[in-house]
Amino acid sequence: MKPILIIIAGGSASGKTTVVNKIHKVLGDSDLVVIKHDDYYLDQSDIPLEKRHQTNYDHPSSLENDLLISDLKKLLNQEAIEKPIYDFVTQNRKKETEHIEPKPVIILEGILSLEDERIRELADIKVFVNCDDDLRFIRRLQRDVEERGRSVDWVINQYLTTVRPMHHLFVRPTIRYADIIIPNDYKHNVATDMLIRSIKTLIRENKEKN
């Protein structure tokens, strides 16, 4: 049975992971694997940490989409992959990889996961999680300080110089490719429940075909 590929995109700290976690809770580990687009940031082992701080991680060129597409095609062809792992503290890939087995449902999550047409063409369902800019900034500030060891000044500077302009240039425009738009300023339960029902329908139809 060919796996179902779902893309979940949206701005930084828009609530993509919250939506993914709810789907994961319903489907469970046996039926779902989540691939984070962030893990496919380019390897920067040859660049000093100070220089890595200057990398524009919100630009499509920061991602190794060729490798991602190759891995997605393998998973869709029922083949296992060795997925890279990105470390946000060192701002580089880890030396180790993660072994991923194909499962009935594959979710690709990332701010720019709808930007590349080659990736979109592989997807069965394309989702955009939409959220107010101010709320996204507050969430990002809390996350980056608490989880990624960033200073408040560093987060603010990065947001103003790259995150915000890149969002409006590359991320926000991909909303037009979405089959489902999930509003996440306050609550997203109804939209997420509808998405889960759609996924269950696709799983059932796949099983009936096979």
State the residue range of the domain holding 80. 4-203
Give me the CATH number covering residue 110. Answer: 3.40.50.300
> Which residues, 6 or more positions from 35, have their beta carbon under 8 angstroms from its beta carbon?
68, 71, 72, 75, 83, 100, 106, 107, 108, 109
Q: Is residue 172 part of a domain?
A: yes
Contact 108, 35 (CB under 8 A): yes
With DSSP H G I counted as helix, E B as strand and the rest as coil, what are the percentages for the chain, rounded to 5? 50, 20, 30
The CA-atom distances, in angstroms, between 174 and each of 107, 116, 136, 149, 178 are 17, 9, 17, 30, 7
Number of domains present in the structure of the chain: 1
Residue 143, both tokens: 């996350």
Q: How many Å apart are CA 182 and CA 188, to the nearest integer?
A: 6
Which amino acid does the sequence have at 98?
E
| Average pLDDT, integer, range 192-205 | 89
Cα-to-chain-centroid distance, residue 184: 16
Q: How many Å apart are CA 16 and CA 71, to the nearest integer?
A: 21
Q: Is residue 209 part of a domain?
A: no
Q: Is residue 210 part of a domain?
A: no
Q: How many Å apart are CA 200 and CA 210, to the nearest integer?
A: 16
User: What would the pLDDT profile of 161-179 be if each residue is shown by its tens digit?
Assistant: 999 999 999 999 999 999 9
Contact 84, 93 (CB under 8 A): yes
Q: Is residue 12 part of a domain?
A: yes
Q: Is residue 133 part of a domain?
A: yes
Residue 99: HSE in the Cβ half-sphere, 13 Å Cα cutoff: 0
Give the pLDDT of residue 142. 92
Return the residue matching tokens 């489907």: 27
Top-ranked range on mean pLDDT: pick from 75-79, 156-160, 202-206: 75-79
User: What would the pLDDT profile of 93-141 be if each residue is shown by its tens digit?
Assistant: 999 999 999 999 999 999 999 999 999 999 999 999 998 888 899 988 9
What spatial distance separates the first Cα and last Cα of the chain, rounded to whole Å?
A: 6
The CA-atom distances, in angstroms, between 110 and each of 51, 68, 122, 172 are 23, 12, 15, 12
User: What would the pLDDT profile of 16-41 be if each residue is shown by its tens digit?
Assistant: 998 999 999 999 998 999 999 999 99
